[in-house]
Amino acid sequence: MIIIKGIGASPGIAIGQAYIFEDEEIVVTRTEIPRDQLRGEVARFKAAQKATHRDLDAAEAKVLKLLGKNHAKLIDAHRLILRDTLITHEVPQRIMNEGVNAEFAFSETLEAVNMQFEKLEDEFFRERRHDLFDVGKRLLAHLLKRNRRDLASIDKPCVLISRNLLPSDTINLQESRIRGFATDLGGKTSHTAILAQSLEIPAVVGLSDVSRRVKSGDTIILDGEQGLVIINPTAEAVAKYEKVQAEQIEAERALEQLRGLPAITLDEKRFELEINLDSSEEMKSVLALQSDGVGLFRTEYLYLNRPTAPTEVEQTKAYTTVAKAMSPRPVIIRTADIGGDRLTQMGIEGLKNETNPFMGMRGVRLFLRHLDLFKTQMRAILRSTLKGNVKIMIPMVSSVGEVQAVRRLLAQATAELKAEGVAVPEKVELGIMVEIPAAAVMLDAFIPHIDFVSVGTNDLIQYTLAVDRVNENVTHLYDPFHPAVLRLLQHVVSTAHNAGKWAGVCGEMTSDPNAVPLLVGMGFDGLSVSPRMFLRIKQTVCRLRHVAMAKLAAKVVTCSDSDEVRRLMREQGL
C-alpha cells in the first residue's frame, strides 16, 4: 500500500481499478520544406485550424448541454485562442520565413507563448496556459492526422490516472464510467478542477509522479476531500473507505430528502430556516435550497472594488432580483456595513486610518454621517419592496437615537418616492441587528421603534468578550458557549417576544450544528444559515425536541463557564 498526498481538486471518494491514460507524447520534428511547397504547408495549417474549430463547436454543444451557458464561454475563449493573432499571423510567418513544416512552426510558437505564461508570478494566471495547451494539442493532432483518444469510450468502471488532464478531456468524463481521476499536474483553480467539481467527479491533482507509480489494473482509492491517492490498499483500507463512501452517500441522501420540507422539531415546533446571502448573484443556487426566506442579505458586495458608489438603479436591480425570486417569502436586507476604507476607494473623502476599525466608523454610524449614500440605498430598497416581501435591517446600532434618525430618513425617502409617483407601501418593516452588547442589554428601550430584531452572533460574541477574532493571541477566548453570550441571546429573545416582536439570529453560530440546539431551545423564530450548511442545520432542527431544548437553554444560562455548558449538552447527548 502506498499513499501519495496531492491537492484535493473535487471532493468525494472513488475506489476502482487504475486506468492509465497516457498523455500522448506528441513528438514534433523539424523538417525543411522546399520553397515551392511552403504555400501548401500554410494551407495545411489553415485546414487543421478549421478542423479544430469544428472540434470546438462539438465540444461547445456538449458543455452547453451538460453544464450550461456559463461554462460554454470557456470553449468560446478556446476558439478565440485559436483565432488569436499570436497564432494566425505567427505560424504562417514562421513557415514562410524559416522554411519549416507546420507542426514545428506551430509548436515553436506555442512554446514561445508558454514561456511568457511561465514567467507570470500569479499561480492562477500561470495555470491558464493549460487552456492554450488544450487548443494546441487538438490542432497538432489534426496536423499529424492522429485521433485523440476519447475518454467517453472507456466503458468499464475505473479510476483514471494521467500525467495531465485537459479541460476538453474532463468534459468527456461525464459520459464515461470513470469514477474519479488523479493527475501529476494541475492546481485547485485549473479549469479541469472546476469542471470536475461541477460534474461531481472526485479528483486529486498535483501528485507529481502518480502516473509513473501506478500500473494499469492496480487498485486505487481516491480521496478527493483529503487529496489522497492510495495505491494497492490493504483489504482493511478498502473496507474503511467503502464504509465512509457508503456513509457519505447515505448522509447525502438523508439531507436531500429534507429539501423543501419545513424545519420542524420532533414535538412539532416550527422554525423559519433562512439563508444568509452575500450577493444577488448567488440567488440561483440559493433558490434550489427552498429556504423560508433570506434572513440576512449582506449588501457590502455592491460597494467593493469600485471607483464610485453604487447607483440607485444598480442597487434597485440587485435587491429586486432577490425580492422577486424569493417572493412571497421574506427578504431582510441589511444596509451596508462598510468602513471608512471603502469610502476612500470610492473617491469619497473618508476618514483617517482607524486603529481599531471594529469599534470605529462603520455600519449605521458611517451612513448617518454620509446621508446621501444612506438615502440612495434606502430608496433602492424601498423600490424593491414593490416586487416582494422586503424588510430593512440596520447594522451596528448602539443607541435609540440612531434608530430614530434612520426612521426619519426612511420616512423622507418614502415621501420622496411617492412624490415621484412610485407606489411604495405605507409600511416597510424596520429592524435592528443586535450585535453591540448595549443594544442587547437595553433592547426594551429599542422595541417601540422597531418591528423585529436579528442577532448577529459573530460581532456580539466579539464585543461581549472583547476578543478580536483575527488576533491569534486571543482567538481561543472567542467562545459562542460563554454563558455571558448565552444570557444575552436569551435576553434578546424574551424581550422581543414579550413585546410581540419577531426575533431571528444570523451569524456563524446558526450554521454550527453544535450550537443550534441552544438557539432552538431559546425559541428564536428564525435561524438564518449559510447556504452550504442549510440542509445540515435543517436536519439538526428536525431531530430535536423543543421542550427538552427549552429546559436545557434555561439551565445553560445559569452555568458559570462554557465547560459546564458543554458538559450539560453532552449529558443530553448533544
Partner 1 sequence: MTPRLGLHAKPAGMFVREAGRFRSEIMVAKDGVEVNGKSVMQLMLLAAEFGSHVTLRITGPDEAEAAAALERLFVRKFDEE
CB–CB of 384/319 below 8 Å?
yes
The residues in 228-287 that bind partner 1, with binding defined as CB under 8 A, are: 281, 284
Amino acid at 144: L
Residue located via cell numbers 438564518: 528
Least distance to partner 1, CB of residue 234, Å: 41
Residue for grid cell 450577493: 279
Q: Which residues of 211-293 form beta strands (DSSP E)? A: 219-223, 228-231, 263-264, 270-277
Q: Which residue, 7 or 283, is less far from partner 1 as judged by CB?
A: 283
Query: Is 308 one of the binding residues for partner 1 (CB under 8 A)?
Result: no
Which is closer to partner 1, CB of 305 or CB of 356?
305
Q: How far is the CB of 57 from partner 1 (least distance, A)?
A: 15
Instruction: Please say which residue, 74 or 434, places its beta carbon nearer to partner 1.
Output: 74
Nearer to partner 1, 307 or 421 (CB): 307
Is 542 designated active site? no
Q: Strands 219-223 and 13-21: what pairing?
A: antiparallel
What minimum distance in Å lies between the beta carbon of 123 and partner 1?
A: 10
Helices (H) and strands (E) in the chain, counts: 25, 17
313 binds partner 1 (CB under 8 A): no
How far is 278 from 253, CA to CA, in rounded Å? 27
CB of 192 vs partner 1, minimal distance in Å: 13
Instruction: Please give the span between the terminal C-alpha atoms of the chain, in angstroms, as a whole number.
Output: 38
In the complex, the smallest distance separating the C-beta of residue 55 from partner 1, rounded to whole angstroms, is 17
Task: Give the footprint of partner 1 on residues 478-537 (CB under 8 A).
Answer: none
Of 67-75, 270-278, 363-371, 410-418: span binding partner 1 (CB under 8 A): 67-75
Check: CB of residue 509 under 8 Å from CB of residue 519.
Answer: yes
Say which residues have a Cβ less than 8 Å from residue 327's Cβ, sequence separation at least 6: 387, 388, 389
Query: Where would I find the beta strands (DSSP E) of 270-316?
Result: 270-277, 294-298
Q: Which of 9, 14, 132, 450 binds partner 1 (CB under 8 A)?
A: 132
Write out the binding residues for partner 1, residues 171-210 only, by CB under 8 A: 189, 191
169: contact with partner 1 by CB under 8 A: no
DSSP secondary structure code for residue 24 in this structure: -
Q: Which of residues 70-129 bind partner 1 (CB under 8 A)?
A: 70, 73-74, 76-81, 84-87, 113, 116-117, 120-122, 124-125, 128
Grid cell 499513499 is found at 3
Q: State the Cα–Cα distance between residues 355 and 361, nearest whole angstrom.
A: 11
Q: Least distance from C-beta 187 to partner 1, angstroms?
A: 13
Q: Hey, which residues between 278 and 307 contact partner 1 (CB under 8 A)?
A: 281, 284, 305-306
Q: How far apart are CA 165 and CA 176, in angstroms?
A: 15
d(CA 479, CA 160): 45
DSSP string covering 143-188, please?
HTT-PPPPGGG--S-EEEEES---HHHHHHHTTS-EEEEEESS--T
* 133 near partner 1 (CB under 8 A): no
Contacting residue, 131, 223, 272, 479, with partner 1 by CB under 8 A: 131
CB of 106 to partner 1, least distance (A): 14
CB closer to partner 1, 89 vs 177: 89
Query: For residues 6-17, b (16+ Cβ closer than 10 Å) or e, as one string?
Result: bbbbbbbbbbbe
SS3 456: strand
Q: Which of 191, 482, 491, 546 is catalytic?
A: 191
Tell me whether residue 81 or residue 323 sits nearer to partner 1 (CB atom): 81
Nearer to partner 1 (CB atom), residue 73 or residue 551: 73
Q: Cell 429556504 appears where? A: 291
DSSP string spanning 32-90? B--GGGHHHHHHHHHHHHHHHHHHHHHHHHHHHHHH-HHHHHHHHHHHHHHT-HHHHTH
Whichever of 128 and 501 has its CB closer to partner 1, that residue is 128
The verdict on 67 binding partner 1 (CB under 8 A) reads no
Q: Which is nearer to partner 1, 80 or 422 (CB)?
A: 80
- Label the pairing between strands 158-162 and 178-183: parallel
Give the number of residues in contact with partner 1, rule: CB under 8 A: 31
For partner 1, give the closer residue by CB, 131 or 223: 131
Q: Min. distance of Cβ 127 from partner 1 in angstroms? A: 9
Residue 438 found at the interface with partner 1 (CB under 8 A): no
Q: How far is the CB of 117 from partner 1 (least distance, A)?
A: 7
Q: Is 506 a catalytic residue?
A: yes
Per annotation, catalytic residue among 78, 370, 491, 506: 506
Please give the helix or strand (H or E) that residue 213 lies within, else none: helix 210-213
Q: How far is the CB of 343 from partner 1 (least distance, A)?
A: 16
Say if residue 328 is preceded by a cis peptide, omega within 30 of 0: yes
Interface with partner 1 (CB under 8 A) = 70, 73-74, 76-81, 84-87, 113, 116-117, 120-122, 124-125, 128, 131-132, 189, 191, 281, 284, 305-306, 314
Cite the active site residues. 191, 506
